[in-house]
Structure 1
């Protein structure tokens, strides 16, 4: 219907123009009326055939192609053939939507490409630093021809520490890769999160003492709290978070763990009173190799993958992790775990990538 109205308007415009020219030269209303009628009819038929056959039909084909590609063959067959009353307007909307989707896809690809470049740059730097150090210590020992045994022993000790750093880096990279691909399953069991926290505290007591940091378990509940999770992987989460608080804590400070029972979840929070983190860094904190203080991070060691591993493990449990921090006052990392239901066994299932 809209096509005919459009054609009629254009034909009428042409007919009026031709009739006006005819009247200007002949001054005959009879000739004007005849001319107007013939011109209107011929213009209408001509425009309609041209638009319908050569333009509108092509637009319909384009619309059907876009519509079919958008829905997919299976969904299109299920819904039946779609016939639009106004394919020109629909094509415009479809193309605009397609353009928005493609722009979004291009933006995502650019982000992925930037992440890939940053990752390759970071991993190259992380490997080069200990490798160059090892090479330097060994070359110094060889050049000295082992004459100064005390210096040789000292340099070998330093080279050994850098070898350990490389080992940690490779181990953590391998673990993240396996978590992402689902090679490491999540072995769900019911266990008391209170007991696990105490075990982790006991294993880290000596390290806490070295950093002059006090460990505090803020346990407000008399009854044990049962959760449904992979016990060893949650142990790793707690160890990484507490170890991170040692690295960025302050001497004579404290690291505390708190539990909060929600409706069907348990919130575990690890809080320190250390140097804190600037707000602008918080969104990137769980990225691989991201460090807010590069110089200090080099001194305290680590692979730079601890928080990335924590995020992968928590998300593999279909749970969430967050961080809040105030520069100069400290940081709090919180993650949720599913409460265990009494009397229901929990199967072992693999990690599924979203």
Structure 2
């Protein structure tokens, strides 16, 4: 009873009314009726005001603080809401808000650490799997030769070529990992120059024509031949972006399919779009295809080669150019990857610098 707001209010109200009665009794002109009425009013008003004060400004806020501390102790912060510090008559509410903000900040840190730990586990598992395949293949070929197959010249050359191919794949994987790590850590610097994006895309198409012809995939390039598509960017890195996107479009297309590369100019940008009519990407995979080693249909992707780092590198290169890669896909109909770069205005021949 004494630990509740009503109990404390009752005791304080009685004490105040008794003091008021004692004070009024010292005055000879105060009648007994006035004394009783004054005591009753004093008790009622004091009890009401003290109860409201204790209930809403003290006990309720203390209860909220206890409830919050219990949730923190149980690590159940799912229902905690972000409440900004507001002016309040109760200093306990401010304390509650501070504890609440602290708990949310710690929960965010815990969530970040958990995501980082999960990413680290997935990365270690992925890199172990990616490294294991070429290493085990090379070991198998080398040990077979050491067990006596080296005497057969035909078998020896066949196995050595296969071992070399596996080591080449391992080298590509390591180089891609180094490149991606350097980009994420900011070590790689971008060297911006002016160049014609159309000519760069033509070079990539010419390089991949042989691979496309093997699968009877048609490469179609759409642009305005009367235009120049001048941009300012890091040419080797943009070359790698286009190379990755067109390579993937050819690789994951069906035999006899088509890959359409279009270059369009807008007001201040140039847009490159790579469209294929292949197997497409399921909606649940679209958000993750730019993660390291993430593959759609991993078993089939492994057969087609690649390190699983190409799109992650593309994403980081474009972010370094203040751009981003966009993708839309329909399963069974194909995918569209696109990105934009700034359009550099051509300088007219008669434009000359004015003398100072």
C-alpha distance after superposition, 1:89-139 (max 9, x if no partner): 233333333333332332222222111110111001100111011111111
CA contact (8 A) 1:15 1:35 kept: no
Q: How do 1:167-316 residues align onto structure 2 when only pairs under 5 Å count?
A: 167-220=171-224, 222-316=226-320
Q: 1:270 to 1:89 in 2, by over 3 A?
A: same
In the alignment, does 2:115 pair up with 1:111? yes
Provide the secondary structure at the position in 2 that maps to 1:187. coil
Counterpart Cα distance in 2 of 1:301 and 1:326:
23
Counterpart Cα distance in 2 of 1:83 and 1:275:
55
Unaligned runs of at least 5 residues, structure 1: 1-6, 21-27, 48-54, 63-81, 344-354
Counterpart Cα distance in 2 of 1:18 and 1:38:
7
Partner of 1:351: none
Shift, 1:8, TM fit: 12
CA RMSD of aligned residues (A): 3.6
Shift, 1:18, TM fit: 9.9
Q: 1:140 to 1:104 in 2, by over 3 A?
A: same
Provide the secondary structure at the position in 1 that maps to 2:112. helix
Shift, 1:262, TM fit: 2.8
Partner of 1:348: none
Partner of 2:13: 15
Q: 1:18 to 1:84 in 2, by over 3 A?
A: closer
Provide the secondary structure at the position in 1 that maps to 2:307. coil
Q: Which has the higher contact order (CA 8 A, sep 6+)?
A: 1
CA contact (8 A) 2:16 2:42 kept: no
Instruction: Give the TM-score normalised by the residue count of structure 1.
Output: 0.74
Counterpart Cα distance in 2 of 1:275 and 1:220:
29
Shift, 1:250, TM fit: 1.1
Q: 1:205 to 1:232 in 2, by over 3 A?
A: same
Unaligned runs of at least 5 residues, structure 2: 19-31, 52-57, 66-84, 348-356
Provide the secondary structure at the position in 1 that maps to 2:151. coil
Shift, 1:288, TM fit: 0.7
Counterpart Cα distance in 1 of 2:339 and 2:11:
71
